[in-house]
Amino acid sequence: MTAQKSIQIALDEISAIDLTCKHCGSVIRMTLPKVSLSPAFYCVGCNTQLWLHESDAAYTNLLNVLRVLSRYKEIADLSKFKVGFSLISPLGRDVSARDD
């Protein structure tokens, strides 16, 4: 059995979402709370348009994630429970939410 390490993250502890451009690798940090996005959004590094319009699946899905995390941060203190997730990896391997 391989030894594993685990990192637990509560949703209300997430302070920002990072978008990494697949073309140039630039990182765009969106701090929370955030409940809106520009329908025309371009990479700061290479000027690639990251989504085409408001009905683009990338736009709507990211906007939903941002809204849920932002809303949860607002109500976390009122809740009787915490919501989170775990990142698990083999021991000796870096645990990261990024897929570099």
pLDDT reported for residue 100: 44
Residue 74 burial (CB count, 10 A): 13
pLDDT given for residue 94 in this prediction: 61
First to last CA, the chain: 27
The domain spans of the chain are 4-87
Q: Is the pLDDT of residue 92 over 70?
A: no
